[in-house]
Structures are given as C-alpha cells and as structure tokens.
Structure 1
Amino acid sequence: MRIIALLNRLLRYGVVGGTAAAVHFGVLLLLGQWMALSLANPIAFLAASVAGYLGHALLTFREETGGRQFARRWLLLQYVVNISVCALLPLLKAPTLVLVFTPTVLNALIWSRAARFSARSRQQHNGQPPLLHADDLGLAAGVDAAIVDLARSGRLQGASLLVNGPSASDAVETWRRLAEPPPLTLHLCLTEGHRLHNCPDLPTGFGTLLLASILPWQRRRIAPQLRTVLLEQISRYRQLTGLRQIRLDGHQHIHLVPLVLDAVLDLARSESITWVRTTREPLPEGLTLALWWRSLQTGGLIKWFVLQLLSGLAMPRLRRAGIQTNRRFAGVLFSGSMFGKALRRSWITAHSPGKVRRASRPLVLIHPARRHAVSGMDQDAFQQSVAFFSATNRQKEWSSAQQL
C-alpha cells in the first residue's frame, strides 16, 4: 500500500510540475512578443510558481493540507529560490544536468517542507488551545478593569501582577473576589517604576541590561542591584497575594536578558521560583501582507527575532534548574496590536498538538485596557507604559479577546 501511495503522489507531483512548466512556457511565449525575455522570464516564473503553489497544495499534498493552500510565504520562498538559482547556475558554468535537475530537487524539498508545515498546523488547530494571558495587572484602574472583565467572563486564564504599579493592591483585592480567579504571575519590572535608594542604576532600559550581560564591569556593577530589586518585588508579591511559590515573567520580557535571568536562577531555589515564561513564538500561518508590514513597522519582527534568541538560550538553563516553562508563546510579533486577524492567527498557531500539563501550555499574550486608562497611571515613573496604553489598540485587544 505504501508503494501505491508513493507512486500516486509521484504521479500527482509530475502532473502539477508539468502543468507549472507548461504555464511557464506559455506565459514566456506570450509575453516574449511584447517585451524582452529578460523581463518576461521572471513574470513567467511567477506564474509557474503560483501554479505549482496551488497545485501542490490542493492536489499533490492534499492529505497534509486538507485541501487548503500553503502559507503564502512558501510561494515567496519558492519563487526567490528559483529565480536566484536559475540566475546563478549559468554564471557558474554548471553542467546541463545540474541546470535541469537542481531547480527540480529544490522545488520538491520546498513543497514537501510546506506540506509538513501545513500538516503540523492542522494538528495544532485541532489540538489543545493555548492559555490567554494578560500583562500589567496593577498598572492602573483602567487596565485592571479590562483584565478582570476578561477573567470574570472566563476568557482569560492568567494575569501578570505589576507589584510596583499604582493600583496593585486594589487589583489583587478585586482579583480575590472573582469566583474562580486564574493564576497570577509576578511581573518583574526593571525598566520602569520608582528607583530604590540603594539601586542607582535601576530601572533602566532593555538594551542597557542586554549590553551589561556581556560587559564584565557593567555586570559586576548591576548584578547586586538586580538581586536587591528582585528580592524586593518577590517580597511585595508575597505580601499582596499570600503565595509562597513564584511564577515569574517580566515587563517588556526583561527577565529573559541573560544578566537578569542569572539573578532569577540564583534565587530560584531559595525563593521557590517554579515557573518562568519564555517566548518561543512560531510564525503564524495565513497572515496577510498588511499584517507582515504592520509587524515590520512597529518593530515587532525585530523584537521577535531578539526574543527568539534569548528564549532559545534561556530554555536549556531553565530545564537544568528544574524550572517549568511554557512550550510556545504568541504576542511578540504583534506586541501592542494583538487584535483582529493577528490575534486569531496567533491563537490558532499556538495550539498544542497534544495534551500537555498546564505549566507547559502555550500562552497568548495581550495588553487590554479600557479607554482613558492612562489617567490613573504614575505619569513620571511609567512613561513608556503611558505612551503604550494611550493607543486605541488597547481597547481593540480587549474587544478581540472577548470574541475569541
């Protein structure tokens, strides 16, 4: 049966490949009457790529795709690779066999990889859903109200408490009155807030702490201050919540900076830090070009890349320390604009293929707030948050989360 299935797939692949080649030839022949071949050929290549993209998704690999298209980035990848290879090989004076079969082999690899990706995405969609999580509880009454509303309606499965936020105490009291309050997490804040008298270098920026991670003299100066601030915020968290064990993440994901993570791991055993959030975020499938452009404009793509690297470094260290973490994450690529299709596609991609423990469940992060939430913020100590929560996107995230 396997041989028959393989032959059947090879036949379908050949039909689609032959059709794509015919499309290439036909478009090239047609356009060649009105323009130079150097211009007509890339257009013909694009037409052939589209034919292959649709044919392989809908016919060759329909078992993997379920009859749906591949993610559009596979079309872009295949087109760029083909154009590049076909331009480069003649310059290298490659033999005829290499000229003929190299694109064929590359196409087979690309489309089969796209098929595996689609199959995995379908499994995720049908698997265990992620947990919806909100950051910045305690920042202001308008932020707290939106987060509590989502928790009360059952849409939210967790929130991170900003213990040095102006409304932290009131937020915890309101949280306790919920019928089934979701778990809280300590939201370590090192980039905003009031400075402790014995920590002159904190708070400071993400980039400063990242740089201090690799500069020995800066590390020696800041590390003791990090320990002091971390202990102070852990103490405040316990005072507010009454919880002994600590689940921890960071404001602006600052806890993933190596120097900060060092301090967290040093205190993990003595302070019962049992879970730390990581941000390994798979790229969502089915995004429009407009959404990719939004991510690029807002810096989300750069943040995603940096935090992918930092999470990749952090996860082995957390495992060695016996600290649990989430397997997947969504919320960096569209940080600040997790609403509408961006939220829905991120939500689907974050699904877990099988059942996992709650501590390992994927997280989808949002920052909801009511209108005019900034009016209750500490304008001097939380200037970055004031700017962030002034945007109407905070209400859009709240509304989109209600509709998940």
Structure 2
Amino acid sequence: MTKRLTLCADDFAQSGSISAGILQLIDAGRLSATSVLSQSPHWPELAGELKARANRVDVGLHFNLTHAFGAPAKPLSHWLMKSQLRQLSQPTLRDEMLAQIDRFAEHFGRLPDFVDGHQHVHALPVIRDALFDAIQHRWPEDRLPYLRAPDKLGHPGDNRLKSLILRSVCTNFDEQAQQRGFATTPWFGGMYSLTPQADFAGLMQSWLARSPNHALIMCHPGLPGQDADDPIAACRSREYDYLASDAFAELCQRHQISLTRFQPETVAA
C-alpha cells in the first residue's frame, strides 16, 4: 500500500544557495513542500521562481522570530522562557505575524498553503494564540491553512533531550489548533542534532520506516554557500546530496512512499 508523505524543506529565501538547492530538489520530485522566510531580502526576487513550481508543492510561511534579517531578533531561549512565563504581548506578536503573512502574499500573489515556524516558535504558548488570531484576520473561514504540529513529533532523531524539550514546550498545540478548525500534521519527523557528524541518511531511513500515512517530515537542504549567519550551513549540502541521490529514491520505493502535498487523512482519496 502506498504511503503518502509530505517532505518539507524549511528556510526557503534565507539565502540564494539554500533556495537554489530547494528549487532543484522540487524539480527532481524530491520535495513536496517548502516554507518561506518572507522577511528575507531575497524573497522578492525568488518568489517568482517558487510560484512557477507551486502546482507541484505546498508553499508555506516559515514564521520567524529568531533569525535576523536586518532588524534585531532574539534567540530561541528568550522565546522559550517568556512564552512559558506568559510574558509576551499577544497583540504585538499578532502584528508581526500579519506583517510576515502580508510580505509573503505581496510577492507570491496569494496566501500561504500552511504555516510553520523557524525553530518551531509558532507553537509556543502565547505565540500560538497570536498565530490563530492573525490567521482569522487574513483567511476565509472555509480555506484555513494547515499547521505543523511539533507536539506530534513521532521520532526523536539522534537527540532525545532536544525532542523531549520540543514536545514539552509545544504541549497541546495540536489539540488547540484542531479546536479552532485547523487541519494539522498528524505525525511529525525530521528532528535531529543538525551537526555535520549526524547520520542524516540513517535517520531518514528510520523516519520513513516509522512514519504513518499523511505524515510530514521537515528537512533543511541547500547548495554550498557563504552564509556566515547560518548555524547549520555544514548540514545543508549533506542533506541536499542525499535527497538528490538514487539511494533516497530507492528508499522511498522500498517503503512505498509517495511524496505528495499535504492532505488531511479525513479527506484523503
């Protein structure tokens, strides 16, 4: 039986080399979604290339609060602490979310298919409420975007502590999103240490073996570049090389995986 899987490349538009790698993998049929950092100065020039491929992949917003694009940004630790203490301004976060949604739509010509978050910030307490509010301001009620649910993480990758922390800080996101009428990804994979020593190929084998139908796996591929602000630059070309390889295609065939755009199981064909 064929298993439908959405393989999503995060960080489109972060840099030219990352984006070029993602576009090449889309062309090769090795991705079925990508999420965009719409604050990036590269987004206006790259939007057209991605739009030309939008019939093949879901294109979403990668909501960002931690990567600086010419303006001050705060580290993930700040958002983790302040969200757990409920010391964040929901209206301020909603306005930031609306600004990133609008910049996406300005250059892409329509709203995103889905929303996720850079370092999963979209699912943190208070920030998630700002997300729900912002979406209600922009989307018709009958055409809501789907949401990535990090609390549905189904495999710890190579770092159990990291995965435990993620599930803990994002507790109940999936339930709260569904209560508001959102489709959410029922199983999430792709979490790992993002170090050059990590066995990405081996991890992908585990994720594909464990993932159920309609799962979503994130990845972070890219071509080699000179992005000094990218802390995981060394991992990107390794991910790209594996996803572009015959070995990955054979792995998908062995597990009867079909890389498809996300479709909630309740309405799946």
Deviation string 1:154-200 (CA, Å, 9 cap, x unpaired) is: 1110100110123212222112333844110001010122476xxxx
Report the CA distance shift for 1:203/1:259 in structure 2 as closer, same or farther (over 3 A).
Answer: farther
* TM superposition score normalised by structure 1: 0.55
Tell me, yes or no, if structure 1 residue 270 matches structure 2 residue 129: no
Q: Which residue of 1 aligns with 2:217?
A: 364
Q: Which residue of 2 aligns with 1:204?
A: 74
| Superposed CA RMSD | 2.3
Report the CA distance shift for 1:251/1:209 in structure 2 as closer, same or farther (over 3 A).
Answer: same
Please list, as runs of the form range in 1=range in 2, the aligned pairs for 1:3-22 lying within 5 A after superposition. Answer: none
**Unaligned ranges ≥5, structure 2:** 249-269
Does the 8 Å CA contact 1:212/1:259 hold for their aligned counterparts? no
Structure 1 or 2: larger helix share? 1
Q: Which residue of 1 aligns with 2:52?
A: 177
1:245, distance to aligned residue in structure 2 (A): 5.5
Q: Which residue of 1 aligns with 2:263?
A: none
Q: Distance in 2 between matches of 1:127 and 1:177?
A: 28
Q: Which residue of 2 aligns with 1:387?
A: 231
Q: Which residue of 1 aligns with 2:108?
A: 241
Q: Percent identity?
A: 23
Of structures 1 and 2, the one with the larger relative CO (CA 8 A, separation 6+) is 2
User: Which shows bigger deviation, 159-168 or 314-323?
Assistant: 159-168
1:270, distance to aligned residue in structure 2 (A): 1.8
Q: Distance in 2 between matches of 1:152 and 1:192?
A: 27
Q: Which residue of 1 aligns with 2:260?
A: none
Please list, as runs of the form range in 1=range in 2, the aligned pairs for 1:335-354 lying within 5 A after superposition. Answer: 335=194, 337=198, 339-352=200-213
Report the CA distance shift for 1:246/1:127 in structure 2 as closer, same or farther (over 3 A).
Answer: closer
Q: Distance in 2 between matches of 1:147 and 1:261?
A: 27
Report the CA distance shift for 1:185/1:245 in structure 2 as closer, same or farther (over 3 A).
Answer: closer
Structure 1 or 2: larger strand share? 2
SS in structure 2 opposite 1:133? strand
Q: Distance in 2 between matches of 1:395 and 1:229?
A: 31
Q: Distance in 2 between matches of 1:173 and 1:238?
A: 12
* TM superposition score normalised by structure 2: 0.80
Report the CA distance shift for 1:312/1:335 in structure 2 as closer, same or farther (over 3 A).
Answer: farther
Q: Which residue of 1 aligns with 2:160?
A: 301
**Unaligned ranges ≥5, structure 1:** 1-125, 197-201, 285-291, 353-360
Please list, as runs of the form range in 1=range in 2, the aligned pairs for 1:80-91 lying within 5 A after superposition. Answer: none
The one-letter amino acid paired with 1:185 is G
Larger radius of gyration: 1
Choose which of 158, 177, 182 in structure 2 pairs with 1:318. 177
Q: Which residue of 1 aligns with 2:126?
A: 259
1:303, distance to aligned residue in structure 2 (A): 2.1
Report the CA distance shift for 1:246/1:226 in structure 2 as closer, same or farther (over 3 A).
Answer: farther
The one-letter amino acid paired with 1:281 is L
1:149, distance to aligned residue in structure 2 (A): 0.6
Q: Which residue of 2 aligns with 1:120?
A: none
Q: Distance in 2 between matches of 1:314 and 1:304?
A: 15
Report the CA distance shift for 1:238/1:365 in structure 2 as closer, same or farther (over 3 A).
Answer: same
Q: Which residue of 1 aligns with 2:83?
A: 213
Q: Distance in 2 between matches of 1:246 and 1:135?
A: 14
Does the 8 Å CA contact 1:246/1:271 hold for their aligned counterparts? no
Choose which of 12, 37, 41 in structure 2 pairs with 1:162. 37
